[in-house]
Protein backbone atom coordinates (compact mmCIF):
# COMPACT_ATOMS: atom_id res chain seq x y z
CA UNK A 1 0.00 0.00 0.00
CA UNK A 2 1.31 3.44 -0.85
CA UNK A 3 0.64 6.87 0.66
CA UNK A 4 -2.04 7.65 -1.89
CA UNK A 5 -4.05 4.53 -1.06
CA UNK A 6 -3.71 5.22 2.63
CA UNK A 7 -5.20 8.67 2.20
CA UNK A 8 -7.98 7.44 -0.05
CA UNK A 9 -8.88 4.64 2.38
CA UNK A 10 -8.45 6.80 5.43
CA UNK A 11 -12.11 7.48 6.13
CA UNK A 12 -13.02 3.82 5.59
CA UNK A 13 -10.23 2.85 7.93
CA UNK A 14 -11.36 5.24 10.65
CA UNK A 15 -14.97 4.14 10.24
CA UNK A 16 -13.86 0.53 10.64
CA UNK A 17 -15.21 -0.33 7.20
CA UNK A 18 -11.95 -1.56 5.76
CA UNK A 19 -11.46 -5.25 5.03
CA UNK A 20 -9.10 -6.94 7.44
CA UNK A 21 -6.44 -7.50 4.78
CA UNK A 22 -6.55 -3.89 3.66
CA UNK A 23 -6.56 -2.73 7.25
CA UNK A 24 -3.43 -4.77 7.96
CA UNK A 25 -1.71 -3.33 4.90
CA UNK A 26 -2.63 0.17 5.91
CA UNK A 27 -1.40 -0.31 9.46
CA UNK A 28 1.80 -1.84 8.14
CA UNK A 29 2.32 1.25 6.01
CA UNK A 30 1.76 3.46 9.04
CA UNK A 31 4.58 1.69 10.83
CA UNK A 32 6.96 2.61 8.04
CA UNK A 33 5.63 5.98 6.99
CA UNK A 34 5.83 8.84 9.43
CA UNK A 35 3.81 11.21 7.27
CA UNK A 36 0.81 8.93 6.93
CA UNK A 37 1.03 8.11 10.60
CA UNK A 38 0.75 11.81 11.35
CA UNK A 39 -2.17 12.29 8.98
CA UNK A 40 -4.05 9.33 10.44
CA UNK A 41 -3.47 10.45 14.00
CA UNK A 42 -4.53 14.00 13.27
CA UNK A 43 -7.66 12.84 11.48
CA UNK A 44 -8.46 10.41 14.27
CA UNK A 45 -8.14 13.23 16.76
CA UNK A 46 -10.42 15.46 14.74
CA UNK A 47 -12.99 12.70 14.36
CA UNK A 48 -12.92 12.01 18.09
CA UNK A 49 -13.47 15.65 18.87
CA UNK A 50 -16.40 15.80 16.46
CA UNK A 51 -17.97 12.67 17.91
CA UNK A 52 -17.67 13.83 21.48
CA UNK A 53 -19.03 17.30 21.02
CA UNK A 54 -22.76 17.72 21.00
CA UNK A 55 -24.35 20.72 19.37
CA UNK A 56 -23.85 23.50 21.83
CA UNK A 57 -26.74 25.75 22.72
CA UNK A 58 -25.75 28.98 24.37
CA UNK A 59 -27.31 29.61 27.77
CA UNK A 60 -29.92 32.41 27.61
CA UNK A 61 -27.86 34.87 29.64
CA UNK A 62 -24.89 34.34 27.36
CA UNK A 63 -27.11 34.88 24.34
CA UNK A 64 -28.43 38.10 25.83
CA UNK A 65 -24.97 39.35 26.61
CA UNK A 66 -23.78 38.39 23.18
CA UNK A 67 -26.65 40.22 21.52
CA UNK A 68 -26.04 43.28 23.65
CA UNK A 69 -22.37 43.22 22.81
CA UNK A 70 -23.16 42.90 19.13
CA UNK A 71 -25.73 45.69 19.28
CA UNK A 72 -23.24 47.95 21.01
CA UNK A 73 -20.64 47.12 18.44
CA UNK A 74 -22.96 47.83 15.56
CA UNK A 75 -24.32 51.07 17.03
CA UNK A 76 -20.75 52.22 17.60
CA UNK A 77 -20.04 51.62 13.97
CA UNK A 78 -23.09 53.59 12.86
CA UNK A 79 -22.17 56.68 14.82
ZN1 LIG B 1 2.72 6.97 3.57
Q: Quote the domain boundaries for residue 7.
A: 3-78
Q: If you measure from the C-alpha of residue 56 to the centroid of ligand 1, how many angstroms do you get, rounded to a whole number? A: 36
Q: If you measure from the C-alpha of residue 49 to the centroid of ligand 1, how many angstroms do you get, rounded to a whole number? A: 24
What is the distance in angstroms between the CA of the first residue and the CA of the last residue of the chain? 63
Q: The domain spanning residue 70 has which CATH number?
A: 1.10.10
Q: If you measure from the C-alpha of residue 6 to the centroid of ligand 1, how many angstroms do you get, rounded to a whole number? A: 7
Average pLDDT for the chain: 83
Q: If you measure from the C-alpha of residue 20 to the centroid of ligand 1, how many angstroms do you get, rounded to a whole number? A: 19
- pLDDT digits over 18-71, tens only? 999 999 999 999 999 999 998 888 888 877 766 666 665 667 777 788 788 888
Task: Work out how many domains the chain is built from and give that number.
Answer: 1
Q: If you measure from the C-alpha of residue 1 to the centroid of ligand 1, how many angstroms do you get, rounded to a whole number? A: 8
Rounded CA gap, 19 and 22, in Å?
Answer: 5
Taking each helix axis from N to C end, the angle separating 34-52 and 20-32, rounded to the nearest 10 degrees, works out to: 120
Amino acid sequence: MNCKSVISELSNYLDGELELAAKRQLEQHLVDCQECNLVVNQTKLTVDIFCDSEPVALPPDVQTRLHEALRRKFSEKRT
